[in-house]
Amino acid sequence: MTEGTAPETATPPRIRAASVSKLFGGNRAEARRLIGEGLDKVEILRRTGCTIAVNDISFDVAAGEIFVVMGLSGSGKSTLVRCLNRLLTPDAGRVEIDGEDICAADDDRLRALRLEKITMVFQHFALLPHRTVAENAAYGLKMRGMTPAARREKAHQALEAVGLLPWADRLPSDLSGGMQQRVGLARALALDPEILLMDEPFGALDPLIRQDMQHELIELQARHRTTIIFITHDLNEALTLGDRVAVMKDGRFSQVGTPSEIVLAPADDYVSAFTREIDRARVLPVSAALRGSMVEGAESLPGVPADTRLSAVLGQLGQGPLRVVGRDGALKGVVTAADAAAIAAPPGKG
């Protein structure tokens, strides 16, 4: 797979980032010139005092895709996501939303884009403490210039979707962290966005709440087919949610691929260091364990969809092999307990 291109799609990408770079501090003009000369990050910092937060990154995201950027703090992932709605303006490169170069957009156009198309959920929720839950959820609608009655109704719908309608007239401080982030999500969903940027949205939540929120997000996404850019520092979360995952380090992508590709074929030592600790059965689909050859009498075996996670069928596999079928119901192959165990075992042990 070539780096950063969306998988098997004919439609134009919803988001395209082309050679995006973002610098902070120092002599940025000089730093840009040195980047052009191909100098590395450390040398540029020494010569110009510029930190390169995002270094020449390119990728496409297809409509309806969940694209996860995973990286540790300081990897530049939050900076990257802020370039996509131009909270930060890239120092080099282009960002296109549905083919429109947003780096060329003026303030009015940017505001329109943020209200109609591309919205955001923040790590620490960023709710207004002096406004009620409903008023917070209606914030974007108010900025759109909607009447109070209309935006209240729309905000209530959004709160209903995240299960918080009974709390509409409370203040955010009355709510738990998980509930506050649902308000943040409702505020974004109230705008019916086509693109949702999520900057470590579950990073501040307890592990259990976090899992619930992940599942809810997957359900919401299945219903609305929103394109999601999801930032996280947690590889498990990245692999659970992502249609594709980009592993980011020092302002660059180390690898971009499907969760299976990341786990089964890590591009370098950095990525494989992360994947070693992963519960592979929870990440890999049964199709990853497919046996090349057909087993006699496969038709009579119980069938599972190809994208089911291995962990979900381990119990069934104990009773015998399973037939794996594609979305159209066509037979793709057969998986056995031994195959599953082999592929789910951590590298170096089996």
Under rule CB under 8 A, residue 33 binds other proteins: no
Smaller CB separation from other proteins, 177 or 303? 177
Q: Which of 22, 77, 151, 187 binds other proteins (CB under 8 A)?
A: 187
Q: Which of 58, 123, 260, 336 binds other proteins (CB under 8 A)?
A: 123
Beta-strand pair 66-71/227-232:
parallel
Task: Copy the structure tokens of residue 184.
Answer: 């943040």
Under rule CB under 8 A, residue 150 binds other proteins: no
Tell me how far apart the alpha carbons of residues 184 and 96 are, in angstroms, rounded to a whole number.
25
Under rule CB under 8 A, residue 115 binds other proteins: yes
Task: Copy the structure tokens of residue 45.
Answer: 């910092």
Under rule CB under 8 A, residue 22 binds other proteins: no
Smaller CB separation from other proteins, 108 or 299? 108
Q: Which of 13, 71, 76, 140 binds other proteins (CB under 8 A)?
A: 140
Tell me how far apart the alpha carbons of residues 117 and 15 are, in angstroms, rounded to a whole number.
11
Of 58-66, 121-129, 149-157, 230-238, the window that binds other proteins (rule: CB under 8 A) is 121-129
Under rule CB under 8 A, residue 143 binds other proteins: yes
Residue 184's alpha-carbon distances to 103, 104, 272, in angstroms, are 26, 29, 34
Under rule CB under 8 A, residue 112 binds other proteins: yes
Under rule CB under 8 A, residue 111 binds other proteins: yes
Q: Which of 48, 55, 85, 255 binds other proteins (CB under 8 A)?
A: 85
Q: Are 309 and 281 in contact (CB under 8 A)?
A: yes
Residues near 142 by beta carbon (within 8 Å), at least 6 away in sequence: 151
Residue 296: how many CB atoms within 10 A of its CB?
7
Under rule CB under 8 A, residue 144 binds other proteins: yes
Handedness of CA 217, 222, 225, 231 (dihedral sign): positive
User: What's the closest the beta carbon of residue 108 comes to other proteins, in angstroms?
Assistant: 9
User: What's the closest the beta carbon of residue 132 comes to other proteins, in angstroms?
Assistant: 12
Radius of gyration (C-alpha) of the chain in whole angstroms: 22
Q: Are 333 and 292 in contact (CB under 8 A)?
A: yes
Tell me how far apart the alpha carbons of residues 178 and 128 are, in angstroms, rounded to a whole number.
16
Under rule CB under 8 A, residue 87 binds other proteins: yes
Smaller CB separation from other proteins, 46 or 111? 111
Tell me how far apart the alpha carbons of residues 217 and 205 are, in angstroms, rounded to a whole number.
14
Residues in touch with other proteins (CB under 8 A): 82, 85, 87, 107, 111-112, 114-115, 119-120, 122-124, 126, 128-130, 139-140, 142-144, 187, 191, 197
